[in-house]
Structures are given as C-alpha cells and as structure tokens.
Structure 1
Amino acid sequence: MSASRCWTVRRLLLLPPASGREVSKARFLHRDHDLQKKEEEKQGGGRGMPGVWEYRVQYNPSAYHRLQPDSAVLVGTHTDEELTSGTFVSPFRQRNNPYTVRSSRHLSSAKNTLLDLAFNRGGGSKVAEQPTDSVRLPPDVRGDPRAFQRCRPEYRTMSHDLSLSPPSIAIGKAFEMLHDVTELKGSLRSADIVRFLSELGHVAPEQQPLVHSDTRFSMLLRYSVESLRLFSHAQLLEILRAFVWLNIPATHSILSLYEAEFSCRVEDMEFRELLLAADLWRCLGRQVPRYLELVYTCAARVLDQLELPELVQLLYVIGEGRRCPPALLPPLELLLLKHLNRLLPEEVGTVSLAFFKSQSSLSAGTARRLADQAHHLVEELSDYALVNVLKLLRFNHLDHRGLLWALRCEVPRRAPRMGIQGLMHVTLTCSSLHYRDDDILLAVAQCLPPLAPLCRSKDAGKLLWAFGMLGFPPSEVPQLYPCLTQAMRLKEFELQHFPQHLLTGLLGLAFLGLYPQDLLNLALSEDFVRLATGFQHLDLKKDLFTLDASVGLEIPNWKGPRISPALTEQIRQQLWTFAQQDVCLKAEVLEAEELLQELLGGEAFVQKHMILPHTRSIDLELRLDSEGCPIPLHSEPKCNAKSVKRASSSPPFWEGGHTGVMITEDLLAQLTSLRSLGQPHNEMQPYNEMPPHSKPCRVHLKKEQEDDERMFTSGVTLTSGFLEALKSPAQHPVYPQVSTGGTAQFIAVQVSTRNHFCYQSQQLLGLQLLKRRQLALVGYRVVDLPPWEWIPLLRQSRTEKLAYLQGKIFSMQGG
C-alpha cells in the first residue's frame, strides 16, 4: 500500500464514533431486524419489514405557504439550507440569516438622517434551541427553492432531483451487501464500490442508522478512499449522489477527501459535471468554498458558451455559496441580458434570489429589466418566486412602479395562503422602498394575528419595524400590534442571541408612540445593554440611544432602567461627528443656513445642530420673541433627554447655560444714562423685508481683552468685576425673557429629503413622525422645507428664496 493510501486509511480510522443515541437506535433496529428475519423464516415469507417504524421529524415553519388544516404532513420537506443533511429543525428554531433587518446598524451617507433603514448584512451568533416546554404549533410547508430545476429537461444533467427518491430496499438486502464487502475485502474493484454505495443509498431513511453504525460500512468507505483516483468522473458523481441518499453528515471527514479529489479534477471535467457536483455538495449541506472558487474560475472561461439552463444553475450555485467573484459579475450580467426574455417564472425567482444571497448589486439597468420580466410574469410567479423578486428590489433599492402597482392586486389575493415569513418579506420590502399602500398593508395585517404564534423573534421584530416605519395605524387592525408584541415575549429566549430583533421591534412601536413596559425593562436592563453593545458585527448602540431617549421624553413617570450617561454621551458625539462630515455639508442644508442668517441678521441667529440627537438628524434652530424679533444664539446647546420636561411650554434641557446675561432696554438705559436705545446695532438689523414690528430687543455682550474697554459710545466704564458678573452663566436655564415679559418661540427648521417621506407621498416615515412628535413635546415649532418646494427653489433667484423662507419662519403655521 502506498504512503498516501496509508495516510488516508489512518485518517478514516480516526473517524469519530457514532453518538450514543444513534448506536442505541441502531442496536434496537438490528435486534428488531433479527427477530423479524427469524419470524419470516418460520413463515417462509420474504416480505419486507412491516410498517412498525414511526419516524417523526420536525419541520421549519413555512416561509411562503400556510399549512391547510387538512393537509398531510410531508416527511422530508426541509429548507434549502437543510436539504438531505439529515438535520431536522424545530419549528421555532431561529435561523441565522445574514440578511436580517437593521434599523440603524451603521451610519448612512445617502440620506439627510443618520438612521440607516437598510438591512444588516453581517452574520449572527449561533442559535438557541426552543425550550422543551414551548407550545408546539402545526408547521407550514415552505416553497421549494429547487422548483426551477423541474422547468426544463436540461437541468437533469446538472442537478440532483430530491423529489425522485429511489425505491427502498429491505434492510436484509443491505446487510447482505455489507457481508459481501467483508468477503471481497481488498479484491473490491472500483465498479463494485460504486455499486454497493449506490444500492445502499436505497435503504429507507429510518433504517439508515443501522447502516451508518455498521463497521462493514466504515470498511466500505475506507476502500472507496483507497480507490479515489481510480474512479471515473461519472463514478465519483455517482458516489456523491449515494452519499446524498445515505444522508451522510456534512461534517463527516470522508467528505473532505472527496472535496479535494473533485477540486483536483475541475480542469478535466465538463462544466455540466462541475455544476452537478456543486449541486450535490449543496444537497449534502456542506460548504465547499475552495471547490466553488475553482468552478467560478472555469466559468469565466466558458461563460460565452453557456446556455440559459446552465446560466441559471450557475447563478443558483453562486447564491447558495453566498459569494460572487467581482470579476465574474459584469459578464454574468451581459449573459443574463441576452437570455432575460426567455426566463420562466421560477427561473426569475431563482436568479433574483441568487443576486440577493450573494450580495451582488446589479447595475440599475439590469435590475430594472429583470424586474420588468417579473412584472410580465407576475401572475404566474409562485409565492416563493415573487418574494425572491421583492428581495431583489429591496437589495437594489429599485422602485419598479409597475411591479409595485401589481402588488396591490397580488398581495391581497395571495396573503391568506402565505406563511409568516412570506408576509414578513412583503411588508419589509414595502418598508425598505418606503412604499405605503394601504391595500397591501391591510391584507397582510389581517392575516397576521392567527399566525403570530409561529413568529420567530426576527419575524416579529421586522414586522413591527415595517408597519411602524410606514405609519400603519393601530386602529386599522387592533389585534396586530398586541399579537406581534406577544410573539416577541414568547421568544424571549431567542433575544439573548439576537438582541437586534428586540430593538428593531421596539423602535417600530416607538414610531407609533407605543411602549410595552415589560419589553422596555428588558431592553434597557444593564445585562441586555451589555449584551447588545458587546456585538462586534452589529452597531446596536444607536438603537439603544434612540429607544432610551424616547422613553425619557414620552414616558415622564418611567421608573425602569436607563442607559448610562457615559454611553449616551459617547453615542451623541459619534452621531454629531458623522453629521458634521455628511449631512451638514449637503448643498440644500448649507443654502438654507446661509439664507436664514441673511434673513435674521447674522450667524448668531441660526444654529445648526442636533436638537434631539437620538433622532439622528440635524436641525437649523432659530428663536423669536413674542413680537417676532429674532433672538441670537451663541452657545452650542447640548440636549440631554433625561432632563427634558414633558411640557409644550418648556424649553429643551441645555448642558450649561448661555454665557452672559440678557439686557433689557431699561437696564441699558440705566447703564448708559440714556432713555432709549435708538437704532439697533448693525449686526441685529433684520432682512429689509421683515415686518416693521419685528425689531430685535436684546444684545449679547462679548468678552473683551481689556478690563476697562468701553462697549458703548456713551455709557459707563465696565470694570472687570462688573463684566464678569455680566458674563457669569445662569444658574437655571429658562426661557429667555424679552422686554415685554413674553415667552420666546423655539423653531426647528427641517431641511427634509425624499427619504423622509413615503414613496410619491407627503406621508412622513416612522422616524420623522417620532421626531416631529417629540420636538413638539419639548416646545419647538417645526418649520419644514420639503424637497418638492425647496429643491426647485435652489435654482431660483436669491430674492425668491428669501421671500419663501420669510413666509415660512414668520407664519404661525410654520410650513
């Protein structure tokens, strides 16, 4: 025996033994088989085993189809991630989906807001199992991700059809074959090994543990390794197919040897054989990144020769491998455009899902043409294919008007038969595209209450986020938000592994002003905050900040936990630093700031900052007295949500007061021995079109270098002590008092973008609704500069822009 063969045999001898459960089951099955065989010998019959085996498996809940009450349970139906791997998942097991939603997991530079409404593409932690005392509910049957392979006969040569299971053989025949293995031993030919493994793959699934635990089967595997290089390409593929039917675990060490052999043969195999091998590895549930990289390299050389079925199968393989080489994407797009009009409905869904899973951003033109084909076939698309197309729209931020309009008819028609995950993806796509259609939302909302117990924490969190983001009112379906919130409570054990889902759901509720106190206690608890802030692949600090500050503002009697001031300040500084580098520099913001300064009399009267930092967007703050006069703002205020009073007549909290004191006309007259001020200072002169009564009423004394410097042409000498007294900070920040004793108006000018509103609508999205509500709560009047008014004005004359701003600021409506 060669040295290499000795090494491979030694590796196989070190294979881990079967688990105790498997061995016990195998012993039971073997003993039962012996008793049955003796019974059959007595009766002289050669019948197979009677149906005494009761093999129960658990299924993943439906992603796209609801189980009908009279439907039979389909044994062996698994998600695409579990195909033939022998691993069956509890209905409530949380999936590690790398495409989970994030309400604000990173800072976005594409919007006039620091809230990123896209999706988190990072990985997740391992999954927690459902406690044994959880309520078991009937599962759903999800759509078949491999249905496209039955659309054309060409797929048969490059894919494995799991629906065509081989006829079962009696376990006795399997033992006879294993006995032949021991008899032949070293004289086994490669063809014999292929035949034995292929026929053993016909053993019924419930009897396979007998085969796996048999030492003669391990011996057969060793012989197959010794003959690896002697197998033809077809024989290797047949063995891999046998491993699929035998449910060989994806972690079995023998598979690594076969993967290495396939990798060595990539250059010699036909491309369809390469695709078939990749599909078989997928059926085994084994990740083979090295083999796939070699396949992609080979594909780049033969791409122009591929027909449509080969292209679709290649894209399926790329999607399941979760990666597309950047250099391969452009020629793939060109080839796809060539065949696009010939795609069948299920193939459209498969292609869309492949680009989504591999995180491959198509060019705008290609994505739109793919959506055009989906729109053309929308009535023929299965629910699963339609949801995959929606994922493509979501990932590419593509607002395909025709397809979105078609959803108005398709979703209400399909929603009653769709499962929880299908409904979630429909709602999430609408939210991501900012597309609010009440017919779609109502159809989904009405179907959710009976399905809510089937929700994973991820489903409940995303649904709450999506409905809250689109401002779906609780009164439309009163049971909707309570049942989804209750589903979150039932999955509390999952939240220890997926804290982002709780924060996502609670933010969606906060957008609507709903605050479930028990879940808030959990989310703001010290342990949960430590867990959430400890994640390296997700930035959950900003979500905690938004939630914590909203609780402080909108629940004045809150006695529960709050996040620490140190963490609050850290996040506030992070948000402001980013805003200074991004949103503050946008042309429409800079133009509004400059014109407002000219309108009101100078830089001192406009302050660009974040009034409510937890809302993650900037404001242009102004102040007017009761007579409409502008009030200067010199010190940068800092907002602390913990000390903002819940009263419309109260100003926001400032860390530190204004430097200096407010000087009235009477006080200045006494200081300067004058009866009146006469004309105001030049810096205070408002824009010449300001109403005559809007004259400024206060000035701010700046610090001078010399103690005895005179600040007025005819007045008194300000000594150092008096000057220090004038400049000392106020002990208790209050409303600035004007000469008439009135109360100032606090104004927040919002330079809105289209991303603040629903698609082709003036309906504000969830975060902006929350911000407007909370600004009013702390005493601000919001003046909105909507994009459909302000952006066109940027091309107009300065006089027109100033007139527009004057009308906005000095009207009581404020836009």
Structure 2
Amino acid sequence: VSAAKPLMEAKLSSEFRTLTIGELGSVCQSYFKCQQRIELKELLHQLSNVLVRSLPRVDSFVVCAIVKQLRYSASAKEAVPWKIVLDACEPHISRWDAPTAIQLGMLATHVKSYHPRLLDAVARHLVTKLNAIRLKEVAKLLLTLTMFSHEIENESQFYDTIKSDLRSPSRKREIEMYHQSFVTCVWCLAMAGMYSADLIAVALSEDMVRNSVKHQYISYHATALQYSVRIESPTYDGPFLGQQVLDSLYSTRHLTTRCPNWTMQDLSLQEKIILKTLDCLQTKYGSAPVLRQLLPHFHYPDIVFGVQIADTDITLSQLELCSEDGVLVPQSSSGAVPCAVVVHGLGAFSEGSQHLMGLAKVKVRQLRTLGFRVVELSHFELSCMSSDFYIQDKLLAACTTSLPNL
C-alpha cells in the first residue's frame, strides 16, 4: 500500500470532483483501517473544504470517517484547515452520534487548536449519552477537556455525572477488560483536581495493571496519577502501584526526564529556552538558581532557589530539598521562601494562542501544593529577561502575594 500511495493520492486529487461526499468518506475509512496517513497536502485541503461545503446535510458516519482520517494525517504546524473544519462542525454536533463528536474533540486535541464552543458542544452532547458510549470514548472525552484545561458550564455537575457513570455496575465488566481506559479517566479527573478514593483504588490496582500489556500505552497516565495522588490527595490510604509494576509499564511512549546542560549535543528548543533563562538568573543573582527535576512525572525540570526579601532588595540562596516518594519538596530554612521558576515553552500553549494547556497548569498547581512560590515565564518573555527589573518584579509578586486557593 505504501508504495502505491503517491499514485493513489495523485489520482484521487485529480478525480476529486467526480466523487461524492459518501465515497470520500469510504476512502478515508479505508485509509484509517490500513493505518495510512494521507501525505498529499492538496488532498487534505480538498477533503477539508468539501466537508465544510457539504454541511449540514452530510451523514454522521461520513463526517466521522473524514475527521478521523484528517486527525490521523494532520500536523499541528498547519492548523488553519483544521480550524476551519472544527469551526464549521461545531453548530451541528448535537445532530451527530457520539463517535463523531469524540473524533472532532480528538482532532482539536491532536492539532492543539483550542475551540471553547466546540468543546462545550461535545461535552453537552455526550454527557447525556454516557450509558450508550464505550469506556474508551469516555476517556477520550475527558482527555480532550482536560488537555485544554477547559472549564465547561456546570462543571461540578458534569464531573459528578462522569464519576457516577464510572462507578456504575454496568461499567464493571468493561473496566476489567479495558482497565487502561479507566486509568486514563481517573488521571483526567486528577488533572481537573478531582480525587475520588474509590476510583483511584481501582485505577492503581496492581492485579488489574498486570493483566494487560495495553497499559504500556498509558504508562504516563498511570505514573502521573500515582505521583499526583501523593501530592494532592495525601489522605488517600488505598493501594499504590509498586516500583516493579511501574518499571514494567515503561516503554518508548513514556517520556523520560533529564536535567539538560549546554554540553549536551541534542538539546531540544524547550531545553535551550530553560537554560537561557537559568543563565539570565545566574548572571543577575549568582549561582543560587539551579535546575532540579522536582516532579518526576513532568518531562522538563524547573529552576529552584530560596528567596529572601528586605524591602525591595532580593537575595537568592540555594534551596535545600528532600525526596518524598520521588518528589522533591522544600526543606524549611532560615526564612528563605522556596521558589520555582517554570518556563512554559511553545508546547505549553495551544496552537496560535496564549491559552495555557492543561498539563502546564497542573504542574504549577502541584508545585504550589508542595509549598513553592511559582514564577511562570513564557518562551516569548525571554527577550525581557535582560531588563533590570523584569525578573525582580516577577519574584516580588510571587513571593509577597497571597497564594491562590488550590
């Protein structure tokens, strides 16, 4: 199939006008079943345009097939055609079935294009159909909402409905068969700041995790859930996964962590931004600021130090840290305020906007829970760091204002 793809796609593109929207849906479904991306950008644009022009009369199955293949083939670097599709589909979501709504949310997540009204429509549509959709679709819905840290209308009621569904006896057999999807659901609830001991206990059941190799696909979710429970739900007294089980989950899908330095040859753009920020801080305040992997379930380290303030004079000192279940927490010391600088790179924002993604918000929230005063710096603020007062004002604001309610 791969060898013939260029010819097939060129032929499809040249004959595009002769095909009905239903036939194009069948083509997309075939591509998806064969796990083949559409490589020809012109063909992807043609599919996007014809889908938009065909609304609202196009069948839900056809929309689902086309959107699914667009997601499989899409690149976040070229978000414009996908944004047009998502905007055009949003008014019609209530007429379509659950899988179509799920695929639209997943397309938005894949290309990191934040569409609040679309997410509202997907959530409203699916929350009334929970008893008719599969567990893995519930997981995909929650991933879509929490990855964008999207606040929906009647949020508390929405999540209570989700939790009731996960507790339903009718889900028991499905949870046993597809436990990895259940872990994803509980991790997403944790991202939203919701910890339910009974659900966590099932998600972190060693017996259920050992029963499925599919858990490697969600190894990050399982690990992040376990660390997050220790940080944000300290009263939880149920089971945790043992280190041997956690190690068995690690795969190429699981992000590894490291503390970068300028001697490394394969630095990512985000690592370079972090190191430049560290250089600016050390130039201004000396060697006290250092990189530390405070939260082992997040990919990039943060810059940590102690802060002492006298009037508007700021003195930085090295911060003493201790490990609690793999998480580094500040030790109380001589009046210094524990501070962490979190650098938000390009990946922390939705495409083409300054909307901070869910994982970045969770990281800041958890650091504050551990007792750090957090200074958030975005990649586009790096040019301001040379200013004498820019970082000083940030530090003063972080260390002298009241902590937000967590």
TM-score (norm 1): 0.43
Counterpart-to-counterpart distance in 1, 2:153 and 2:256: 37
Match of 2:65 in 1: 388
Q: 2:136–2:181: 8 Å Cα contact kept in structure 1?
A: yes
Q: 1:751–1:786: 8 Å Cα contact kept in structure 2?
A: yes
Once the two structures are TM-superposed, the CA of residue 492 in structure 1 deviates from its matched residue by 2.3
Which of these residues, 343, 362, 387, is aligned with residue 770 of structure 1? 362
Match of 1:630 in 2: 316
Q: 1:750–1:783: 8 Å Cα contact kept in structure 2?
A: yes
Unaligned runs of 5+ in 2: 261-265, 400-406
1:7-59 per-residue CA deviation (whole Å, 9 max, x = no partner) reads xxxxxxxxxxxxxxxxxxxxxxxxxxxxxxxxxxxxxxxxxxxxxxxxxxxxx
Once the two structures are TM-superposed, the CA of residue 576 in structure 1 deviates from its matched residue by 4.9
Q: How does 1:424-463 map to 2 (within 5 A)?
A: 424-463=102-141
SS in 1 for 2:129: helix
Once the two structures are TM-superposed, the CA of residue 478 in structure 1 deviates from its matched residue by 4.7
Match of 2:52 in 1: 375
Once the two structures are TM-superposed, the CA of residue 458 in structure 1 deviates from its matched residue by 1.0
Counterpart-to-counterpart distance in 1, 2:181 and 2:353: 29
Q: How does 1:535-684 map to 2 (within 5 A)?
A: 535=213, 538-564=216-242, 576-577=256-257, 580=260, 583=268, 586-602=271-287, 605-627=288-310, 628-632=314-318, 639-641=323-325, 652-653=328-329
One-letter amino acid of the structure 2 residue matched with residue 524 of structure 1: L
Task: Answer yes or no: is 1:520 the counterpart of 2:112.
Answer: no
1:209-265 per-residue CA deviation (whole Å, 9 max, x = no partner) reads xxxxxxxxxxxxxxxxxxxxxxxxxxxxxxxxxxxxxxxxxxxxxxxxxxxxxxxxx
Task: Answer yes or no: is 1:759 the counterpart of 2:344.
Answer: no
Once the two structures are TM-superposed, the CA of residue 397 in structure 1 deviates from its matched residue by 3.0
Cα distance change, pair 541–582 in 1 and its aligned pair in 2 (3 A): farther
One-letter amino acid of the structure 1 residue matched with residue 340 of structure 2: A
Cα distance change, pair 778–638 in 1 and its aligned pair in 2 (3 A): same
Q: How does 1:280-295 map to 2 (within 5 A)?
A: none
Q: 2:273–2:345: 8 Å Cα contact kept in structure 1?
A: no
Counterpart-to-counterpart distance in 1, 2:345 and 2:27: 33
Counterpart-to-counterpart distance in 1, 2:392 and 2:329: 29
Which of these residues, 715, 720, 745, is aligned with residue 337 of structure 2? 745
Once the two structures are TM-superposed, the CA of residue 804 in structure 1 deviates from its matched residue by 7.4
Using the aligned pairs only, state the percent identity.
23
One-letter amino acid of the structure 2 residue matched with residue 424 of structure 1: I
Q: 1:608–1:620: 8 Å Cα contact kept in structure 2?
A: yes
Match of 2:403 in 1: none
Once the two structures are TM-superposed, the CA of residue 753 in structure 1 deviates from its matched residue by 2.3
Counterpart-to-counterpart distance in 2, 1:485 and 1:472: 18
One-letter amino acid of the structure 1 residue matched with residue 21 of structure 2: P
Counterpart-to-counterpart distance in 1, 2:93 and 2:239: 43
Q: 1:474–1:481: 8 Å Cα contact kept in structure 2?
A: no
Q: 2:258–2:301: 8 Å Cα contact kept in structure 1?
A: no
Once the two structures are TM-superposed, the CA of residue 505 in structure 1 deviates from its matched residue by 0.9
1:261-285 per-residue CA deviation (whole Å, 9 max, x = no partner) reads xxxxxxxxxxxxxxxxxxxxxxxxx
Counterpart-to-counterpart distance in 1, 2:268 and 2:324: 21
Task: Answer yes or no: is 1:347 the counterpart of 2:14.
Answer: no
Counterpart-to-counterpart distance in 2, 1:414 and 1:536: 31
1:385-416 per-residue CA deviation (whole Å, 9 max, x = no partner) reads 2222222332223554355345445333341x
Cα distance change, pair 591–340 in 1 and its aligned pair in 2 (3 A): farther
May I ask how many residue pairs the two structures share in their alignment? 384
Once the two structures are TM-superposed, the CA of residue 365 in structure 1 deviates from its matched residue by 2.5
Once the two structures are TM-superposed, the CA of residue 813 in structure 1 deviates from its matched residue by 4.3
Q: 1:611–1:638: 8 Å Cα contact kept in structure 2?
A: no
Higher strand proportion:
2
Which of these residues, 755, 779, 787, is aligned with residue 379 of structure 2? 787
Match of 2:83 in 1: 404
Task: Answer yes or no: is 1:806 the counterpart of 2:391.
Answer: yes
Which of these residues, 324, 332, 337, is aligned with residue 735 of structure 1? 332
TM-score (norm 2): 0.81
Q: 2:258–2:300: 8 Å Cα contact kept in structure 1?
A: no
Cα distance change, pair 594–571 in 1 and its aligned pair in 2 (3 A): farther
One-letter amino acid of the structure 2 residue matched with residue 374 of structure 1: L
Cα distance change, pair 510–583 in 1 and its aligned pair in 2 (3 A): farther
1:600-620 per-residue CA deviation (whole Å, 9 max, x = no partner) reads 223xx2322321112333212
SS in 2 for 1:374: helix
CA RMSD of aligned residues (A): 3.3
Match of 1:464 in 2: 142
Q: 2:305–2:316: 8 Å Cα contact kept in structure 1?
A: yes
Counterpart-to-counterpart distance in 2, 1:639 and 1:424: 40
Cα distance change, pair 582–576 in 1 and its aligned pair in 2 (3 A): farther
Counterpart-to-counterpart distance in 1, 2:22 and 2:362: 41
Unaligned runs of 5+ in 1: 1-323, 645-651, 655-733, 738-742, 794-798
Counterpart-to-counterpart distance in 1, 2:16 and 2:70: 17
Cα distance change, pair 487–421 in 1 and its aligned pair in 2 (3 A): farther
Q: How does 1:489-528 map to 2 (within 5 A)?
A: 489=167, 490-528=170-208
Q: 1:446–1:477: 8 Å Cα contact kept in structure 2?
A: no
**Segment of structure 1 superposing worse, 592-601 or 498-507:** 592-601
Counterpart-to-counterpart distance in 2, 1:422 and 1:351: 17
Counterpart-to-counterpart distance in 2, 1:364 and 1:768: 34
Counterpart-to-counterpart distance in 2, 1:585 and 1:430: 23
1:533-590 per-residue CA deviation (whole Å, 9 max, x = no partner) reads xx16834433222111111111121111122356668989x85556656658733233
1:461-492 per-residue CA deviation (whole Å, 9 max, x = no partner) reads 21122222222336535543233333333322
* Larger radius of gyration between Structure 1 and Structure 2: 1
Q: How does 1:675-694 map to 2 (within 5 A)?
A: none
Q: 1:352–1:389: 8 Å Cα contact kept in structure 2?
A: yes
Cα distance change, pair 569–384 in 1 and its aligned pair in 2 (3 A): closer
Counterpart-to-counterpart distance in 2, 1:577 and 1:780: 21
